[in-house]
Amino acid sequence: MDLKQLKFLIALDETRHFGQAAARCHITQPTLSMRLRSLEEELDLPLVNRGQRFEGFTAPGERVLAWARTVMAAHDGLLAEAAACRGNLVGTLRMGVVPLSSFNPQPLLQRLHAEHPNLRFELSSLSSEQILEQLASNRLDLGVSYLERLDGEHFDSLPLEPTHMGLLYDQRHFSFGEQPLSWEALIELPLGLLTSGMHFRQSIDHNFHIRGLQPQPVLQTDAVHQLVQMVHGGLCCAVMPLDSSLETLTEHLRLHPIEDAQTLARLGLIMRRSAPTSALAQACFALYQQSFSGY
């Protein structure tokens, strides 16, 4: 067994196609199939369901795949740790961010890239549960998620600025004055909202509920980009993070402040405490504390 075989297994999972996995790994498809069969023989387990095309992994294959990801993450972490000991940062910083986070990672990542040009970044939009799970399993280095009920024994965190909310609208279809909007005024508007299972929606519902208001949204969706598209088309307005920069997506979108509008839970930058620790995450934590944190 070698690391390349594990890399091939992960590539097959990500592409779900033998040919595409081989192309990603810069080898031929017969070579990929041969190396995976060799891995199966060594482990004495069938890992891949084969037919005319890739048909998924067997149950043992799924378990081996999880270990393969852990091993490759540890390998990458080892290289990053060695480089950090030499005063350099290399590899890929893997960051998961909850949908509609008001945290803009661009300044932080730009600063890191300027100081360490060989550093690469991988951003994923994930739920708070997925972020904690993938941090714990070493599939993420950093997370931006809500701090409520965070297990401080297993994770370190840095609180981010409070998330204030505003109303996203298209100025070709709606117009508001200079004063912040009240929640009572929002009830009179055609609203598009995220589905009730999403954390940001829970904060919206709470603000309506404590005022005895019951919104009747014209649209509900779990996809942020679809909601923004509907706002741009004039179908609705949407409550969004005030500092999300969503209004910059087109020349017609605007974000208007809402009175006393803040999410229930604070967002934070999160890193796991357990080994193997991530040198990339630690460097990012330190830089944020030095240059960006006011808390």
Q: 115-144, pLDDT tens digit by residue?
A: 888 888 999 989 888 999 989 887 889 999
26 burial level (CB within 10 Å; 0-12, 13-18, 19+): exposed
- Architecture, CATH, for domain 89-161+266-293: 3-Layer(aba) Sandwich (3.40)
- pLDDT of 240-260, one tens digit each? 998 888 898 899 999 999 999
Residue 65 clears pLDDT 60, i.e. is over it: yes
Is residue 295 very low, low, confident or very high in pLDDT (cuts 50, 70, 90)? very low
Does pTM top 0.85 for this prediction?
no
For residue 240, the number of C-alpha atoms closer than 13 Å in the C-beta half-sphere is: 26
Backbone angles phi, psi at 255, to 5 degrees: -120, 120
Q: Smallest Cα–Cα separation from 29: which of 15, 40, 41, 42?
A: 15
Structure tokens at 270: 């999160």
- Nearest of 136, 131, 122 to residue 101 by alpha carbon: 131
If residue 198 lies in a helix (H) or strand (E), which one and from where to where?
A: none
Tell me, what DSSP letter sits at residue 248? Answer: G
Considering the four listed CATH numbers 1.20.120.420, 3.90.1150.10, 1.20.1050.10, 1.10.10.10, the one that applies to the domain covering 3-67 is 1.10.10.10
Topology annotation, domain 164-262: D-Maltodextrin-Binding Protein; domain 2 (3.40.190)
What angle in degrees, to the nearest 10, is found between the helix axes of 279-291 and 59-85? 60
Alpha carbon of 18 to those of 32, 36, 62, 246, 268: distances in Å?
8, 11, 17, 39, 39
CATH 3.40.190.290 residue ranges of the chain are 164-262
**Range in 126-135, 185-194, 276-285 the model is least confident about:** 276-285
